[in-house]
């Protein structure tokens, strides 16, 4: 019997991927651990290793195919003693055959997620972050292979509705019976957009007593003008003269950024705290440390610290001094992190990465500087591993190099905060009753009010300011 090769889930939130390239061809011998294909996710290109041995008998999904669902059959390996030429693609259109559900089916995703000992996960470890991310994802394996019932929801044991926690919460707040919503996620799973469609009257399942067959009525036009972001593409294009624009198709990264940040602003109650930090002592210390750097084999300085390196370190230590702010929202609980895992926003062509510096409070400034440079370089070539840019309790977004004085950053869930850093500049202030010129920058902390209240956010910013203005404290 041939062995199925399925589209792998390369990150906890991955639902689809692009099969960029096959590194093996039909008839090649495959051994466990061989790299057989390259898969493009929304933010990275990753290699896929074989876990079985045999002859690659049939490539079902050709390279270059976009949006291949997770767990879809992509190739077949001939089993031991089997003739590769006799292997044929299943007649079900390429999908992997789903095993029949037994009465003692595996627990449903929501129940399984609730039973996981999340409180015992070690914050800062990749598995802990992946455990959190999987709360909103149907698990792989036989349990996920359950087929949707006729109404569009996946059921196990008779009456359990498979829906994401976010979809359930939105339905509950809107007074919608989640069981009446048509699911469009993997294997009929109900996701956020399905509930929002139901709110607009277009996503509910048919009533138990169906009406006489008739063509579906067109959706009612809104009484008030919609925002451009909620219009369809044709509606937006109709507002502009033909030929006055160029259409740029969305890639996976831009789609993901749009989806996650719209979700963030709609579901995360943001509030913002700003203050000014004096930089004179920090700039003097930075110059002294950089001047003491030795030379590498190429004759270049062994390191060169940036202001952003100090910002990351200061925020990491501040989170240890105010541990209640080092937390993330997990729907029915708050996860307080033991270590300061700080994300760093890195702009790349067409999008944004936020690689995470793990246990930043324990690392030296030079170690943080080297790690950020390495991850930023690999981010620009989309070679970061998912565990390198997922998780973290906070992040730093620095636009000071572009001359931006201050701004408000959008929180990247499930993180609880994000620090927006403006440009350092000379300012005239009053010191000891007389005007004085200092170097200063404005920082703004965006807070998830479900996790960090106003006073707690202010306490965190005060600890950060003290470290920036007395930077020797970061060296001891």
The pLDDT tens digits for 349-359 are: 878 889 999 99
State the Cα–Cα distance between residues 50 and 75, nearest whole angstrom.
11
Which homologous superfamily does the CATH classification assign to the domain defined by 149-204? Answer: E3-binding domain (4.10.320.10)
Residue with tokens 């011998």: 29
**CB contact at 8 A, 60 and 73:** yes
Residue 394 has pLDDT above 80, yes or no: yes
Is residue 129 annotated as part of the catalytic site, yes or no? no
Q: 114: closest CA among 128, 130, 135, 133?
A: 135
Domain with CATH 4.10.320.10 in the chain: 149-204
- 145 band by pLDDT with thresholds 50, 70 and 90: very low
Domain with CATH 2.40.50.100 in the chain: 3-84
Residue 122 has pLDDT above 60, yes or no: no
**CB contact at 8 A, 152 and 180:** no
Mean pLDDT across 30-52 = 81
**Phi, psi dihedral angles at 411 (to 5 degrees):** -65, 140
Helical (H) or strand (E) element with 377: helix 365-380
State the Cα–Cα distance between residues 181 and 267, nearest whole angstrom.
20
Where does residue 75 rank: exposed (0-12), middle (13-18), buried (19+ CB within 10 A)?
Answer: buried
Q: Average pLDDT over the chain, rounded to whole?
A: 78
Q: Name the catalytic one among 187, 270, 339, 449.
A: 449
Structure tokens at 244: 């006055």
Which range among 56-70, 121-135, 151-165, 335-349 shows the weakest confidence by mean pLDDT? 121-135
- Residue 38 is predicted with a pLDDT of 87
Mean pLDDT across 375-389 = 88
- Percentage of the chain surpassing pLDDT 90? 35
Domain with CATH 3.30.559.10 in the chain: 256-474
- Contacts (Cβ under 8 Å, ≥6 apart) of 134: 12, 113
CATH tag, 256-474: 3.30.559.10
Per CATH, domain 3-84 is 2.40.50.100:
yes
Structure tokens at 216: 């579906």
């Amino acid at each position: 019997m041939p062995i199925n090769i399925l589209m792998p889930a390369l990150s906890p939130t991955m639902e689809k991927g692009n099969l960029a390239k096959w590194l093996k061809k039909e008839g090649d011998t495959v051994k466990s651990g061989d790299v057989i294909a390259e898969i493009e996710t929304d933010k990275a290109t990753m290699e896929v290793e074989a876990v079985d041995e045999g002859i690659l008998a049939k490539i079902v999904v050709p390279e270059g195919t976009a949006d291949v669902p997770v767990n879809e059959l992509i190739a077949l390996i001939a089993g031991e003693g089997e003739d590769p030429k006799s292997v044929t693609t299943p007649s079900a259109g390429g999908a992997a055959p789903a095993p029949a559900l037994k009465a003692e089916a595996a627990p449903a995703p929501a129940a399984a997620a609730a039973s996981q000992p999340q409180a015992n996960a070690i914050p800062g470890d990749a598995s802990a972050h992946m455990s959190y991310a999987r709360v909103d994802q149907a698990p792989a394996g036989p349990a996920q292979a359950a087929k949707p019932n006729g109404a569009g929801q996946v059921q196990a044991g008779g009456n359990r509705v498979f829906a994401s926690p976010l979809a359930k919460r939105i339905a509950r707040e809107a007074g919608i019976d989640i069981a009446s919503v048509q699911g469009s996620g993997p294997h009929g799973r109900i996701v956020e957009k399905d509930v929002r469609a139901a709110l607009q009257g277009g996503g509910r399942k048919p009533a138990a007593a169906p009406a006489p067959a008739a063509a579906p009525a067109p959706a009612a036009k809104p009484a008030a003008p919609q925002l451009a972001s909620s219009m369809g593409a044709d509606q937006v294009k109709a507002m502009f003269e033909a030929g006055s624009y160029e259409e740029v198709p969305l890639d996976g990264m831009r789609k993901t950024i749009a989806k996650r940040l719209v979700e963030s602003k709609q579901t995360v109650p943001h509030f913002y705290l700003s203050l000014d930090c004096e930089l004179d002592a920090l700039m003097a210390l930075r110059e002294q440390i950089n001047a003491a750097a030795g030379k590498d084999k190429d004759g270049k300085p062994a390191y060169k610290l940036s202001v952003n390196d100090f910002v990351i370190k200061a925020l990491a230590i501040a989170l240890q001094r105010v541990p209640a702010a080092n937390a993330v929202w997990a729907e029915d609980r708050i996860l307080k992190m033991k270590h300061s895992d700080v994300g760093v926003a890195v702009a790349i062509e067409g999008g944004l990465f936020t690689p995470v510096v793990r246990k930043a409070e324990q690392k030296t400034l030079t170690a943080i500087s080297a790690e950020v440079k390495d991850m930023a370089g690999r981010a620009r070539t989309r070679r970061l591993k998912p565990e390198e840019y997922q998780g973290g309790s906070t992040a730093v977004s620095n636009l000071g190099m572009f001359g931006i004085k201050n701004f408000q950053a959008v929180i990247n869930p499930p993180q609880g905060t994000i620090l927006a850093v403006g440009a350092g500049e000379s300012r005239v202030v009053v010191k000891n009753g007389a005007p004085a010129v200092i170097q200063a920058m404005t920082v703004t902390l965006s807070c998830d009010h479900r996790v960090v209240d106003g006073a707690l956010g202010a306490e965190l910013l005060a600890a950060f300011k003290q470290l920036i203005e007395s930077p020797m404290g970061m060296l001891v």
